[in-house]
Chains A and B, each alone.
Chain A
Amino acid sequence: MSEIIETNDLQKQYRMGDVVVEALKGVDFTVHEGEFVAIMGPSGSGKSTLLHLLGGLDLASGGEVFLADRRLTRLRDTAITVMRRRHVGFVFQFFNLLPTLTAAENVALPLLLDGQSVKESSARVTETLEQVNMGNRAGHMPDQLSGGEQQRVAIARALVTDPEILLADEPTGNLDSSSGEQVLVILRRACDAAGQTIVIVTHNPTAAAFADRVVFLQDGALVHEILGGPFDVSAITEAIAHVNV
């Protein structure tokens, strides 16, 4: 299997006046094509920061990110954007949807931005919405949806371009266990059937158990990983206990 994501000594510092927060302190991280990876770690350990850098949403302070053999850190912003639009789906922890667009329009956004017409995109949009069980809510506005429903629409938007890579920050954070499981099944299927590469950030051992590999982040550094998933939930909790010791 070839490497589709690779980081070398990836660093990120946030500077606020005199205070420097080291969110990532030199992370070497690799993801293979078609792999499903979960990132776990305590709050503030740098999980979201890492995911943002992988998706080219933020600029690294040092080190390199390679995405599908392209060195993101060298590309210009427009190139990164187009790359993200076509090859990467991203689901945020918060604020995912445009409040003035319907669910369907939110999902269609990456396609429309890429120059498709509404007509061209509509079949694919309906299909993706159905995939996340939101087919009957296509015409609703975000403020008419629950937090979990909004999250599912966001996942549909990330999947709509059929991206090689899907990056999701706490995709099940707002969901009850059964709809959370639905989402994870969707992601797992995307990985198995379509060969998509999936990286999720999660606090939930049940969610992490769906992954092929779980990596643990602490204070901005990778401290542990377990291989050979899908896992038993107990394997995950054991690993968490191991890291915390």
Chain B
Amino acid sequence: MRTIAHLALRELRRSWIRNLFAALAVGIGIATIIASDLISRAITEEIAESAEGKAITAFMSEQLDVGLTAIGLVITVGAGFLIFNAFAMSTTQRREDFGRMRAVGMTHRQLLLMVLLEAILTGALGIVFGLLAGVGLGRGLMFLVTTTSDVFNRFGEVSLSPDRLLFGATVGLATTIIAALLPAIRASRTPPVAAMRATSSSGRNLNQYRIAGGCAILLTAMWIFLIVDPPGLWILPPWSSYLTVALIALWLLCIGLSLPAIVGLSGVWLRRPLTAILRLPGRLAADNLRRARARVTFTLLTLIIGVAMIIGVTGYLGYWFEELFFRNSERSLKENPGMGFFPLEIDAGLQAYEDVFDFTLTDNLIAEVEAAAEGHAAVVQGYFVLAPELSFLGEHYFSFIIDPHSMQQSGELFFTFTYGDWPHALEITDKDCGLFLTPTVAQKNNAWLYDTIPIQTPLGSLDCTIAGIGPTFVGASIISDAGLTAFNLTAPVTLSVFPHEGEGRDEILAEFAAIADRYTGVWFTDLSQVSKMQMEAMGTVRTMMSGLLFLAILSATLGVINTALISVSERRREYGVLRAAGATRRQVSAIVIVEGLLFGLIGAGVGIVVGTGVVVIHIVVSGGSVFGYPDFPVWEVALASIQPALTRGILALVVSPMLIALASWLPARAALRGTAIETLGRRETPL
């Protein structure tokens, strides 16, 4: 055991730079988990004092929480893959060492123990770094947001939750251990002599081309289906999610399985032009694509995952925030611009919620507004409640209680029918409690149009019938006025007024503004202003997610640098042989750089294809089904959403080749510094 620990420590010391990078990558994954938790809890806690306040702010924090958790998860999974990759690669590259150790009598168990120890020590370092970075990042992002955002200008003070810390640490350690152990187990199973033989199986693997061919046919069929009959036009939740997941899995699996063939074919195709342009370095780089299997696969996978993650998250954010979320409200506000009375200064952002305890409008005000509106405008009283069954996202997304008759007169801001119609809906709501829901919420309750579902209220269970399905304002469910008594509500939180067509909008506005002026604690604002604030809020959510995405980019970069470092340290013998055979330092450097550029281009290229495919499949399959938009222009939206992502992708196409080339060239330069014999023989490098 002492010997094993000694060997493990020696290895860590010998390759300290690479291990440091691996630890940093682990740390970043953990930091993401912790930061997203801190941020989303900071919003509601200690800000909103009253029930209504909580109901309204919870809607924002719920978005943030669901969004950050989802993005955080994607990034954690991505980072996990990257960590896995880096470890797997370095363990694979040590096969020869393992073979020697086994040859001199190290048992399987001793070998695995050694690798395990190394992984635990690296993981532990990563965890410490991740905890510090996570707290720093969370607080940093919040600070950035409070100083720049008009909405999220006040956050609560939250402390770290031990659960999350434990979760983060476990995820980090588990990933590290699995990533290190799996390849070590494989290596320890190969007979020592086979392990010691240099690994560079050549020859064309016919099977891999057969698999790639099958995959190409399958994927072609899938895209034809998506183009001819986009499921987003007819599918409903939860099938939209299932089909999305299934097709994305097919996409990823097929590309993953075809990767060897893609790489092999690029090697074959690029050999001639590269040789013609770059002579020997070009030729060697093209050949290495096909022959240095392990190294190429790991380097490319790291890049592909990194780039695909960036493209995927960016594209998804564009889809959700620009195309989906405000689609209805933007359109209907343009058609029928309303105005609203609020018990707090909406423009002041979260700060406004801090000192307000009564979130309702007084009877006097309501009476006065209704009298003034008589014949000129529709008035909608809006109540906010939390009904977990009807929550659009998570458990704490607010629902409205609105009188359907006033809603009908107000235009399409609150609700539009995709399934059902007003006559049937009003028939239901005049008798009983009726609901207007998005397909997502309906399916969440396993119910559909005209089904009845029980809602838990302070006065017990209330049976409500689904009177309409379609897009609602920001996805919130709408309960008919029968819910008022059940939820014990006496006064509304908002009054929205929608001038009838042809009425003098400016005069009405002035009249209402004058009424609002006479009441303290009442603000009167254009509803498009509210919508703008919502969008601002969403923008902030997006900023935070981009902040997390930055982490993903960072961890991808670390992963890429890591694989480049590993390959160089593994290849110094090769450089030495090249030097001995008469290659100048400049020639060896050229080989290293050309290869880096080539790997970078292919990796980023495939990454862009993968990421774009994921986003497009998601949009085309899911369409507007979450909100129930009729006639959602799936392909148009898909192309629009992917554009900002593609800009980043092109950036990646430029940056990653340079990054890999640089990350390979710097250590290669150090390796080449001495004489050829020193390059061949020097083992004591920190890589």
Choose one: A58, A59, A85, A118; the contact of B582 (CB below 8 Å): A85
Choose one: B288, B582, B674; the contact of A100 (CB below 8 Å): B288
Chain A 40-69 near chain B by CB (<8 Å), digits 1 or 0: 000000000000100101110000000000
B283 at the interface (CB under 8 A from A): yes
Number of residues of chain A lying within 8 A (CB) of chain B = 36
Residues of B within 8 A of A57 (CB): 579-580, 675-677
Kindly report which residue of chain B lies nearest to residue A141, judged by CB atoms.
B202
Choose one: B279, B292, B674; the contact of A115 (CB below 8 Å): B279
Q: Does the CB pair A142–B582 fall under 8 Å? A: no
Q: Does the CB pair A109–B581 fall under 8 Å? A: yes
Docked complex: B71-100 residues within 8 A CB-CB of A: none
Q: Does the CB pair A109–B578 fall under 8 Å? A: yes
Q: Does the CB pair B680–A143 fall under 8 Å? A: no
Q: Which 10 A-B pairs have the closest CB atoms?
A: A85-B582, A99-B198, A58-B677, A100-B291, A57-B676, A99-B200, A58-B675, A81-B584, A141-B202, A112-B280
Number of residues of chain B lying within 8 A (CB) of chain A = 35
Kindly report which residue of chain B lies nearest to residue A107, judged by CB atoms.
B581
Q: Does the CB pair A59–B200 fall under 8 Å? A: no
Contact A100 to B573, CB < 8 A, known contacts A57-B675, A58-B676: no
A102 at the interface (CB under 8 A from B): yes
Q: Does the CB pair A101–B573 fall under 8 Å? A: no
Q: Does the CB pair B587–A113 fall under 8 Å? A: yes
Kindly report which residue of chain B lies nearest to residue A83, judged by CB atoms.
B582
Residues of A within 8 A of B288 (CB): 100
A232 at the interface (CB under 8 A from B): no
B443 at the interface (CB under 8 A from A): no
Q: Does the CB pair A95–B677 fall under 8 Å? A: no
The answer for the CA separation of A121 and B581 in the assembled complex, in Å, is: 15
Contact A84 to B582, CB < 8 A, known contacts A98-B574, A115-B279: yes
The answer for the CA separation of A142 and B202 in the assembled complex, in Å, is: 10
Choose one: B280, B674, B677, B680; the contact of A113 (CB below 8 Å): B280
Chain B 101-143 near chain A by CB (<8 Å), digits 1 or 0: 0000000000000000000000000000000000000000000
The answer for the CA separation of A57 and B580 in the assembled complex, in Å, is: 7
The answer for the CA separation of A78 and B675 in the assembled complex, in Å, is: 11
A238 at the interface (CB under 8 A from B): no
A9 at the interface (CB under 8 A from B): no
Q: Does the CB pair A81–B291 fall under 8 Å? A: no
**A to B CB contacts below 8 Å, 21 in the list:** A55-B580, A58-B675, A77-B584, A81-B582, A81-B583, A85-B581, A90-B580, A95-B573, A95-B577, A99-B200, A109-B581, A109-B582, A110-B582, A112-B280, A112-B283, A113-B582, A113-B583, A113-B587, A115-B279, A141-B291, A144-B202
B678 at the interface (CB under 8 A from A): yes
Chain B 648-666 near chain A by CB (<8 Å), digits 1 or 0: 0000000000000000000
Residues of A within 8 A of B573 (CB): 95
Most A Cβ at <10 Å: residue of B280, B283, B291, B580: B580
The answer for the CA separation of A98 and B198 in the assembled complex, in Å, is: 10
Residues of B within 8 A of A184 (CB): none
B576 at the interface (CB under 8 A from A): yes
The distance from the CB of B177 to the nearest CB of chain A, in whole angstroms, is 30
Q: Does the CB pair B581–A82 fall under 8 Å? A: no
A188 at the interface (CB under 8 A from B): no
The answer for the CA separation of A196 and B505 in the assembled complex, in Å, is: 103
